[in-house]
Structure 1
Amino acid sequence: MSDDHTELPGLDLERLAVWLADTRPGLVRGPLTGRLIAGGKSNLTYEIGDGTSAWIVRRPPLGHVLATAHDMAREHRVITALAGTGVPVPATYALCEDTEIIGAPFYVMERVLGTPYRTATELEALGAERTRVIAEGLIDTLADLHTVDPIAVGLQDFGHPDGFLERQVRRWKKQLDASYSRDLPAADELHRLLAKHLPAQSPTGIVHGDYRLDNVLVDDTDRVAAVIDWEMATLGDPLTDIGLLLVYQRMSDRGMIGVSDVALAPGYPGESEVLDRYSTRSGRDISDIGFYVALASFKLAVISEGIYFRFTHGQTVGSGFEHFGAGVEPLLQAGLSALQN
């Protein structure tokens, strides 16, 4: 591992090593070193190793967080449950809910080698043919996730699927109200129409919650080696995942700042191809996809407005946050258009 060090923010490697020796004897065979892979407001991800083997540790962000938003046991549970299904996930080794060990709950899982592609430039370097293979793998993997029977893998109580769509509409309106700093008539209209046009829910399945190309690891054969970042997973209407994937693709096409632009790479399938491939493989009815696109547009608009709200109130550190405000209105208009088509 590069940039190895023994002192990491939020992870005491000595205490972790003692706990692992007791919990999984023989797993670690030498002093641990590590590095922070991803940090911020999402769960923190570390790569640790003993000089021979390497693993991944996940824990909540530093500081006060909502337990429900960063529930290590839930994330560990869904990954563990999916082992042995057609959905590629890392193997899990241990879950610790004792906050005395490193100061927060955490779990240890397999380090899967692969690339989370984030930009069209990265895909362009591979060529159109490989890009298509990767994108088709992304779609197929999502369809496979949505064909898993939650009861068969022991996840029957993992969420509350009844009334899922109605709760989503209500939840994101409540979130918007908490970030209210300017008039957004389109947001009020989009919320009204979403509440009015709730479709019959698609059969219950496992929802990833933030499915996109940079939340999967692609190996050197262009195969999806693992789906990662399960912190928003639940049981509900799986079509919310495909709706969100389409909105990410539309945002990419429009060159919105802060959004992965992978869909611009030559070879990346168009929206109709994505839908056709997904529906064929999953067997799900996508005739109401306009609602799911509108809901995803509303969700991302609310998230963007929240980021912009915190920026205008001096509650963010870093650059680029000023652009999030400009992306809200286009998302709202896209949501309205999706419901009218």
Structure 2
Amino acid sequence: MAAFDDGDLPGLRLAPFRAFFERARPGAVAGPLRAQLVPGGRSNLTYEVTDGRSSWIVRRPPLGHVLATAHDMAREHRVMTALAGTGVPVPATYALCEDPDVIGAPFYVMEKVEGVPYRNAAELRPLGAEQVARIAGRMVDTLVDLHGVDPAGIGLAGFGRPEGFLARQVRRWKRQLDASYTRDLPEADELHALLEAGLPAESPPAIVHGDYRLDNLLVGDGGRIAAVLDWEMATLGDPLTDLALLLVYMRRRTPVPGEGDAMRAPGFPSAEEVAARYAERSGRDLSALGFYVALACFKLAVISEGIHYRFLQGQTVGKGFESVGAAVEPLLRDGIAALKDQA
């Protein structure tokens, strides 16, 4: 991780941030602020800010081109605030700023939770196969716990529109792709048409995370899940979209945003074992899983193309963006194959 910087960072101006945070949390800041960019993200920007005594995490949208409805800071803040006190571990939320004039974009401030966002097999291997299996199992169980939360019971009854969720997802990601095209992608049109024609009956609705994977979790002592992070795409809808996206991350042979090779660590279950554990613990029907996998491939392809667009425009911060565009066409092909295999 880079060292803390006494000055401003791209996307974060410390003086106006301090003024806002001191109004929102009087007495919280005790000294001069320093900040560092937290590496690893390919979408929203995440910073750690400290006064030398306390530390906080600040989240804001990426610089430059931002897709419509994406990178919603108020959405992330709302769902984490609502989930506090449930069985789903989330950081405490401290403040939300929806005024883009403060640091250049809306942002929110949350607790810094101690834990490791495991991404690579090399990071997991020293833990041993038994502990890796335990972590992976808890990853699945936490997803089941999330999908078992009653949205109305925690004030999220109006957080989304579950009816017609899958059809809207297909339309939404096509619109997002149309806004970020950098080249001809005929397989995108083919996959989109197949998804439109193959909509299944939806699974009973739940809170959907939208980007659930191991490195969006912080793993604490003893392999417990200390926090679930990155809620920017959370909504109410069909929870099997979360499971399918997790499975696509696990099965990938080519890079996708944020993906590592953690699933190759000894002890990590297969995608089939993960799906079976989810089905057993949730009681949900996975007979149409091929559609959900195809939709997840389409979604990741669109996200990758959006990141590739920002990279070409010089609007990304950090390293690792130059290879993201190479993931798009393999993802589209995998999505087509998932639907044809199910047919």
TM-score if structure 1 supplies the norm length? 0.88
Distance 2:6 2:319 in 1: 30
Question: Is 2:67 the counterpart of 1:70?
Answer: no
The percent of aligned pairs where both chains have the same amino acid is: 64
Partner of 2:6: 6
Question: 1:326-337 maps to which residues of 2 (within 5 A)?
Answer: 326-337=326-337
Bigger Cα displacement from structure 2, 153-162 vs 321-330: 321-330
Distance 2:123 2:141 in 1: 21
With over 3 angstroms needed to count, the CA separation of the structure-2 counterparts of 1:227 and 1:183, relative to structure 1, is closer
With over 3 angstroms needed to count, the CA separation of the structure-2 counterparts of 1:71 and 1:268, relative to structure 1, is same
Secondary structure in structure 2 of the residue aligned to 1:247 = helix
Bigger Cα displacement from structure 2, 272-281 vs 322-331: 322-331
Post-superposition offset of 1:308? 5.5
Which whole-Å deviations, capped at 9, do the CAs of 1:224-257 have from their partners, x for residues lacking one? 1001111111111111010010011110xx3547
Distance 2:66 2:233 in 1: 14
2:183 partner letter: S
With over 3 angstroms needed to count, the CA separation of the structure-2 counterparts of 1:130 and 1:189, relative to structure 1, is same
Partner of 1:273: 273
Whether the 8 Å CA contact 2:59–2:107 is kept in 1: the answer is yes
1:210 partner letter: D
2:137 partner letter: E
With over 3 angstroms needed to count, the CA separation of the structure-2 counterparts of 1:288 and 1:329, relative to structure 1, is same
Whether the 8 Å CA contact 2:256–2:304 is kept in 1: the answer is no
Question: Is 2:20 the counterpart of 1:37?
Answer: no
Partner of 2:249: 248
Distance 2:111 2:91 in 1: 5
Bigger Cα displacement from structure 2, 301-310 vs 110-119: 301-310
Distance 1:22 1:41 in 2: 30
Bigger Cα displacement from structure 2, 133-142 vs 14-23: 14-23
Q: Which runs of 5+ in 2 are unaligned?
A: none
Which whole-Å deviations, capped at 9, do the CAs of 1:136-175 have from their partners, x for residues lacking one? 1111111111111111111111122221101111222334
Whether the 8 Å CA contact 1:175–1:302 is kept in 2: the answer is yes
1:44 partner letter: L
Post-superposition offset of 1:41? 6.0
Which whole-Å deviations, capped at 9, do the CAs of 1:277-330 have from their partners, x for residues lacking one? 11222232222111101111222233345556677x676779866655554443
Whether the 8 Å CA contact 1:92–1:110 is kept in 2: the answer is yes
Partner of 1:121: 122
With over 3 angstroms needed to count, the CA separation of the structure-2 counterparts of 1:214 and 1:74, relative to structure 1, is same
Partner of 1:137: 138
With over 3 angstroms needed to count, the CA separation of the structure-2 counterparts of 1:91 and 1:322, relative to structure 1, is closer
With over 3 angstroms needed to count, the CA separation of the structure-2 counterparts of 1:128 and 1:321, relative to structure 1, is same
Partner of 1:291: 291
Q: What is the root-mean-square deviation of aligned Cα atoms in Å?
A: 2.7
Distance 1:180 1:81 in 2: 38
Question: 1:202-221 maps to which residues of 2 (within 5 A)?
Answer: 202-221=203-222
> Whose relative contact order is higher, 1 or 2, with alpha carbons under 8 Å and at least 6 apart?
2
2:336 partner letter: L
Q: Which runs of 5+ in 1 are unaligned?
A: none
2:32 partner letter: P
Question: 1:1-341 maps to which residues of 2 (within 5 A)?
Answer: 3-9=3-9, 10-38=11-39, 42-63=43-64, 65=66, 68-178=69-179, 179=181, 181-182=183-184, 184=186, 186-251=187-252, 254-256=253-255, 259-306=259-306, 323-324=323-324, 326-339=326-339, 340-341=341-342
With over 3 angstroms needed to count, the CA separation of the structure-2 counterparts of 1:29 and 1:294, relative to structure 1, is same
With over 3 angstroms needed to count, the CA separation of the structure-2 counterparts of 1:96 and 1:244, relative to structure 1, is same
Distance 1:98 1:76 in 2: 14
**How many residues get paired?**
337
Bigger Cα displacement from structure 2, 313-322 vs 89-98: 313-322
Secondary structure in structure 2 of the residue aligned to 1:69 = coil
Distance 1:331 1:26 in 2: 49
Bigger Cα displacement from structure 2, 198-207 vs 173-182: 173-182
Whether the 8 Å CA contact 1:149–1:205 is kept in 2: the answer is yes
Post-superposition offset of 1:127? 1.6
TM-score if structure 2 supplies the norm length? 0.88
